[in-house]
Amino acid sequence: MKHCNLNLLCLFFFFLSSIAFGQDYYKTERQTWLSKANELKPQLTEMIKHPSRLVHTVEDKTSFQGWKAVDSAPMDSLYKNAFTKDRAVIIDFGEHLTGYFSFTLAPLMQTPDAPVRFKLTFGEVPSEVSVPFDPYKGSLSRAWLQDEVVTAMDVPSTITITRRLAFRYVKIEMISQSVAFDFKITDMSCKSVTSASAFPEALSAGTEPMIKKIDQVGLKTLQECMQTVYEDGPKRDRRLWIGDLYLESLANSYSFKNYNLTKRCLYLLAGLSDQNGYLIATVFENPEPHPQTGTHLMDYSFLYNVALKEYFNVTNDIETVNSLWPVAKRQLDIIYAYLQPNGLMNYDKANKEWWLFFDWKEGLHKEAALQGLTIYTLKQTYELARIVNKQGEVKDLPLLIDKMTQAARKYLYDKNKNLFESGPQKQISYASQIWMILGDVLSTKESRKCLNEIIHMKGAFYPGSPYLYHYYIQALINSGMNEEARKTIQNYWGGMVTRGADTFWEVYDPNNEFLSPYNFYPINSYCHAWSCTPVYFIRKYPEIFQTDRKH
Amino acid sequence: MKHCNLNLLCLFFFFLSSIAFGQDYYKTERQTWLSKANELKPQLTEMIKHPSRLVHTVEDKTSFQGWKAVDSAPMDSLYKNAFTKDRAVIIDFGEHLTGYFSFTLAPLMQTPDAPVRFKLTFGEVPSEVSVPFDPYKGSLSRAWLQDEVVTAMDVPSTITITRRLAFRYVKIEMISQSVAFDFKITDMSCKSVTSASAFPEALSAGTEPMIKKIDQVGLKTLQECMQTVYEDGPKRDRRLWIGDLYLESLANSYSFKNYNLTKRCLYLLAGLSDQNGYLIATVFENPEPHPQTGTHLMDYSFLYNVALKEYFNVTNDIETVNSLWPVAKRQLDIIYAYLQPNGLMNYDKANKEWWLFFDWKEGLHKEAALQGLTIYTLKQTYELARIVNKQGEVKDLPLLIDKMTQAARKYLYDKNKNLFESGPQKQISYASQIWMILGDVLSTKESRKCLNEIIHMKGAFYPGSPYLYHYYIQALINSGMNEEARKTIQNYWGGMVTRGADTFWEVYDPNNEFLSPYNFYPINSYCHAWSCTPVYFIRKYPEIFQTDRKH
């Protein structure tokens, strides 16, 4: 996920209110939260990994994005022979890695008398080491693409790329050399890093084979994204977003169980909230922790409360919830600011002043989804209040939930169609149904009808990213449609596995493998946090995924 | 200076004799020498330097190599404004530097959310930051050219180029950036390094103004080349060659007086000589000291003895000369191997089996120069024997010197022309006259005649590099032609100063500024050790360079 175009109006609003307050909403608490976050910074587990084979990539229409890596020669053929001018090799590490790449050069014939220069290109998927990056047409910084030019001033020497990389494949191209000597590459390695080092429990023997594979790929995805924060993706953008945190923490709770990482991220986001107490959707760790000022995502702010509640559910860490309760409570004020007398959120105003994300889906109308999510958030936050025994501070919530639920049914639900509609064009989208169902606006029976309706409907706005697919699966399960949930995981995430995924992708549309929100598919992240959640479903609801399950 | 094409015959010869001996000529001494060299490794003096101005380079036929750096904007205009996409600036540090370049990035508008990438090009002279390097046609590794691509993963951050650089100008080109933020470059610096940190004495007030300038440029050249060894050039090849060591140590003795550096280099070369005891012309320091195996230059091997003698002259360090005497003595065996009964060196055989350098000059015939240098070497080595009281070990030298001198006069000297000739085409070159004069083959009167003859001769092979110009100046002074020596320094090195040299160049032919032994003039070294020797002449013979000198 990537920043929005800055909403200047929104910035101005925050700027004004910050002046109006003239002080920090949280006063002394902020420093406590940042200190907590800092104390919880994990020591990363390092492992030295070596490549498994040499490959070349060939065009192949049946392969993902049209490129296939095939065996070229044994590793020894690289390690024992001269690496001469104009030579290029592609090395396959056999798995996705996040870390620091090194290679060692040794003289072979004559004494090296000049520097040598290489271009190295790192790819998570074969296309990244196959298609030219330039002329670059993408909308994000070209520098995210992992190609680096390095000069080795001496041979022998070991070169380490200082940039942390995310890759499985490395293309090494010799771009300048002295004719007076030959050298060879004698070793290559990657010091991989992660804060997920526990071994998750094995799935039961009766789990569907494809589900086992999906679980493995999901675990690897999560592991790669778990660094000193929950990153969205280790290749890009390599930072903490509330939306990714929520999904990663769910998966983590059922696998690596590094609860301190969740705790750290919750504190960090609180500590870096704006002067008005509103969360900022994404924060950076370096050189000092700081927020992406002005990046306010309404849906992500709401999901912080949900993440906090889920954190408590698995840890019973009442101290943290007590400490962070003021943040959760403050986010409710966003709802009050946009709530209309009729019980609907003022979508047009919210959409002008905030970034409403929900999904990567061009043209998606988000009014109904926002209404559903808001109700869901109110309910989850009320749960949170009960946990810390602060219902008195939010005593109007039950009535508000009721009012907003009624408004949702009255203004956005078409009873005849069994579907929610959004916007003046009455757009029918998965997003709308999903969030209304998660908000319990429909009964289980109605939910089932609704979902069955949209599943069989042509032209409905289907999810654009694994992110919304997660909420779809949850909506299916909540509606008792376990078989449909299983099938969707099997088809959607299983589709990625079948297409060769080592880790799950940021963007996957089975109808268009070249889809990119950034106008250049190689800059997509191919190991992306928000895609890891089959781990959560498979491990939380194991009964759904057994070969001998009940239909 | 750069390696020869490998003479395979010569390699084979050394290989065979190495097997024949089956052991190391120097046995235990080698380790002692290497340890000594290691103990003497200097701590470099570091200084932080900042740029002085922003420039752009413009084509200008009257400027050196057709490029001129002119003021563009004050430094603050860089430090205070956004460094946006497609921007390129050239920074002028105002002096030649050898060291490590850093620059600091700071956010300006919005929060940086992506890496930024730069191409940096470092130049000793304006042409290097002005002409395209590609497609590259040079004969040396393209990687010597100092252009580096760097990715700054975070803003703010300080980026340091790990490669040690030699430059005055830096071109910074933005090659990728996120459109979501602006940043500025807030600082730039170079941590310069040298082992020449003493302050040489000021020249007397009566010194010619241009000579003062030449001295300054020469001192700077020497300072930049003095690192943990006497390097040939800090940009390229950055290593110890015997020929450069000799000239640098001369200049050092009259300026920075870092005698330990000379001592270290003499020990290092001895310790890295081949198994047969013969010196290797160039050695590397990293990762461990090692020679460029097979690179035997006969003239450089001979000059080692001269350098050792000169080292004693200024230090009286008898211990070092005693320790290294076996090396000097062993080099004489090269002479015996090529000496013919008639007293001439067997040039054809030597030329087949060795690299005879003498100068960068296409087509130069080196027989007469070799004869002259050999005689010179014998004399200098006999001096060395006297110093350590080992005349008994080389008691045949006086007779041999006499015999070779007679042979030189008989077979190579044309009395009528007052000139030495070389080879079947009777080539007349400065190199031949110079080395015969330095070998004292002619009387002072004859030398003067000889030099006057060649100076006024059209079509004589004139020196191709500052390296041979050094010996030319010494030959003029030895012949009592001080005024001609002064004029030549004033014209040749002064020519470089007039053309804007901050440091003296590896190659300078006033008739062709684009001359390059490597087929691409930007890869020439523009701060080159062997060009620094005006420092030696100006300071050793100050009377020659006074405005009120006697003509």
Burial of residue B165, with CB atoms counted within 10 A of its CB: 0-12 exposed, 13-18 middle, 19 or more buried: buried
Q: State the nearest Cα–Cα gap between A476 and chain B, in angstroms.
A: 36
Q: What share of chain B is helix, strand, coil (3-state, %, to 5)?
A: 45, 20, 40
Within B226-272, residue ranges assigned H as helices are: 242-253, 259-271
DSSP A339: B
C-alpha distances in angstroms, A358 versus A300, A489, A534, B113?
A: 9, 19, 19, 21
| Structural contact between residues B113 and A283, judged by C-beta atoms closer than 8 angstroms | no
Contact B430, B468 (CB under 8 A): yes
H or E stretch covering B121: strand B116-123
Yes or no: say if B311 and B262 are a contact pair by the CB < 8 Å rule.
yes
CA A105: distance to chain centroid? Answer: 37
Cβ distance of A154 and B237 shorter than 8 Å: no
The full length of chain B comes to 551
On average, the pLDDT of chain A sits at: 94
CATH topology of domain A45-194: Jelly Rolls (2.60.120)
CATH number of B8-43+196-545, picked from 1.10.3720.10, 1.50.10.10, 3.90.1530.30, 3.30.450.40:
1.50.10.10
Phi, psi angles (nearest 5°) of residue A94: 80, -5
Best interface-test mutation with B: which of A157, A175, A176 has the largest number of B CBs within 10 A?
A176
Choose, out of A120, A147, A178, the residue to mutate when testing the contact with B (most B CBs < 10 Å): A178
Residue B428's pLDDT is what? 98
Q: Are B522 and B128 in contact (CB under 8 A)?
A: yes
Half-sphere exposure in the Cβ direction for A529 (13 Å, CA): 27
Given the structure tokens 């523009």, which residue do they identify?
A: B526
Q: How many other CB atoms are found less than 10 A from the CB of residue A180?
A: 21
User: Are A176 and B136 within 8 A, CB to CB?
Assistant: yes
> DSSP for A274-311?
-TTS---SEEE-SSS-EE-TT--BHHHHHHHHHHHHHH
Q: What is the pLDDT of residues B365-418, one digit of tens each?
A: 999 999 999 999 999 999 999 999 999 999 999 999 999 999 999 999 999 999
Q: What is the spatial distance between Cα B518 and Cα B541, in angstroms, rounded to a whole number?
A: 35
CB-CB under 8 Å, B151 with A111: no
Is residue B205 within 8 Å of residue B529, measured between CB atoms?
no
Name the token pair of B299.
């003239």
Of the candidates A151, A180, A236, the beta carbon closest to that of B3 is on: A180
SS3 track for B70-113: EECCCHHHHHCCCCCCCCEEEEEEEEEEEEEEEEEEEEEECCCC
Q: What is the end-to-end Cα distance of chain A in Å, rounded?
A: 36
Residue B1 clears pLDDT 80, i.e. is over it: no
Q: Which residues contact A171 (CB under 8 A, 6 or more apart)?
A: A88, A89, A90, A91, A119, A120, A121, A122, A123, A129
Of A1-5, B204-208, B229-233, least confident by mean pLDDT is: A1-5
Does position B8 have pLDDT exceeding 50, yes or no?
Answer: no
Which residues in chain B touch residue A237, judged by CB atoms under 8 angstroms apart? Answer: 113-114
The pairing of strands B45-49 and B53-59 is unpaired
- Token readout for B199 is 């302050």
Q: Please name the residues in contact with B186: beta carbons below 8 A apart, sequence gap of 6 or more.
A: B79, B104, B105, B106
A252, amino acid identity:
N
The pair of structure tokens assigned to A384 is 């949170």
State the burial class of residue B510 (Cβ atoms within 10 Å of its Cβ: 0-12, 13-18, 19+): exposed
Q: What is the rounded distance in angstroms from the CA atom of residue A306 to the CA atom of residue A439?
A: 12
Enumerate helices (H) and strands (E) in chain B, giving the number of each.
17, 14
Residue A13 pLDDT = 45
Residue A177's pLDDT is 84
Contact B116, B105 (CB under 8 A): yes
Please report, for chain A, how many H helices and E strands are present, in that order: 17, 14
**Average pLDDT for B422-446:** 98
Q: Is the pLDDT of residue A85 over 80?
A: no
Q: Among A142, A280, A295, pick the best mutation site for testing chain B contact (most B Cβ within 10 A).
A: A142
Is A142 in contact with B117 (Cβ distance < 8 A)? yes
Q: How many CA atoms lie within 13 A of B256 on its CB side?
A: 30
Instruction: Tell me which residues of chain B have a C-beta less than 8 Å from any C-beta of chain A.
Output: 2-3, 6, 110-111, 113-117, 136, 139-144, 148-149, 151, 153-154, 156-157, 163-164, 175-180, 237, 284, 286-287, 290-295
In the predicted structure, residue A14 carries a pLDDT above the cut 70:
no
Partner-chain contact B2 A113, CB within 8 Å: yes
CB contact under 8 A, B113 and A237: yes
The encoded tokens of residue A534 equal 């089959």
> pLDDT > 90: what percent of chain A?
90
Q: Is the pLDDT of residue B6 over 60?
A: no
Rounded CA-CA distance B526/B507 in Å is: 8
Chain B nearest-CA distance from A236, in A, is 8
Query: Which structure tokens are listed for A487?
Result: 């099938």
Q: How far is CA B324 from CA A458, B29, B37, B256, B316, in A?
A: 92, 9, 12, 24, 14
At residue A461, the pLDDT reads: 96
**Residue A286, phi then psi, degrees to nearest 5:** -115, 150
Q: Measure the CA–CA gap between B337 and B514, rounded to whole angstroms.
A: 40
Amino acid A8: pLDDT: 39
User: Across the interface, do B164 and A153 touch by the CB < 8 Å criterion?
Assistant: yes
Which parts of B339-493 fold into alpha helices (H)?
347-353, 367-387, 397-407, 430-438, 444-455, 466-478, 482-488
pTM: 0.93
Q: Are A222 and A529 in contact (CB under 8 A)?
A: yes
Q: What tokens does B489 get?
A: 């320094």
Q: Which amino acid is at B79?
A: Y
Class (C level, CATH) for B46-193: mainly beta
B157 vs A157, A287, A290: nearest CB? A287
Bridge partners for B121 per DSSP: B147, B171
Distance CA A172, CA A174 (A): 7
Among A141, A149, A284, whose Cβ lies nearest the Cβ of B149? A149
Domain ranges of chain A: 45-194
Helix (H) or strand (E) holding A19: helix A8-21
Residue A12: band (very low, low, confident or very high) from pLDDT cuts 50, 70, 90: very low
Give DSSP secondary structure letters for A96-114. Answer: EEEEEEEEEEEEEES---S
Question: Hey, what are A87's tokens?
Answer: 């030579």
The residues, any chain, with a CB within 8 Å of residue B321's CB and separated by 6 or more, are B308, B311, B312, B384, B387, B388
B473 dihedral zone (left: phi>0; alpha: psi -120 to 50; beta) = alpha
B66: part of which helix (H) or strand (E)? none
Grouping H, G, I as helix, E, B as strand and the rest as coil, residue B507 is: coil
Residue B358, min C-alpha distance to chain A (Å):
21
- How many angstroms separate the CA of residue B171 from the nearest CA in chain A? 17
Q: Is the pLDDT of residue B549 over 90?
A: no
Contact criterion met (CB < 8 Å) for A111 and B291: yes
pLDDT digits (tens, 9 = 90+) for A374-414: 999 999 999 999 999 999 999 999 999 999 999 999 999 99
| pLDDT tens profile B131-172 | 999 999 999 999 999 999 999 999 999 999 999 999 999 999
* Cis peptide bond upstream of A74, omega within 30: no
Q: Provide the number of CB pairs (under 8 Å) joining chain A to chain B.
A: 107
Q: Cβ of A111 and B156 within 8 Å?
A: no
Task: Determine the residue of chain A that is closest to B282 in CA distance.
Answer: A113
Asked if B506 and B490 touch (Cβ cutoff 8 Å), the reply is no
Residue A500 near residue A213 (C-beta atoms within 8 A): no
Could you tell me the two tokens for A18? 């910050």
Q: Please state the length of chain A.
A: 551
The predicted pLDDT at position B2 comes to 47
What does the block give as tokens for A340?
A: 């209309």
Which of B113, B119, B186 is best to mutate for the A interface (most A CBs within 10 A)?
B113
Cα(A131)–Cα(A96) distance, integer angstroms: 19
Q: CA-CA distance, A258 to B107, in Å (whole number)?
A: 34
Q: How far apart are CA A2 and CA A244, in angstroms?
A: 12
Burial (CB count within 10 angstroms: exposed 0-12, middle 13-18, buried 19+), residue B459: exposed
Q: Are B223 and B539 in contact (CB under 8 A)?
A: no
Mutate to test the interface with A, among B142, B292, B520 (most CBs of A within 10 A): B142
Q: Which of A110, A115, A176 sits opposite B6 (nearest CB)?
A: A110
Instruction: Tell me what the pLDDT averaged over chain B comes to.
Output: 94
Question: For residue range A511-551, what is the model confidence (pLDDT) as tens digits?
Answer: 999 999 999 999 999 999 999 999 999 999 999 999 998 76
Q: Kindly state the average pLDDT of the residues B40-54.
A: 97
Q: Do domains B8-43+196-545 and B46-193 have the same CATH topology?
A: no
Tell me which chain B residue has its CA closest to the CA of residue A105. B287
Q: Residue A27: pLDDT band by 50, 70, 90 thresholds? A: confident
**Cβ contact A480:A541 at 8 Å:** no
pLDDT tens-digit profile of A292-315? 999 999 999 999 999 999 999 999
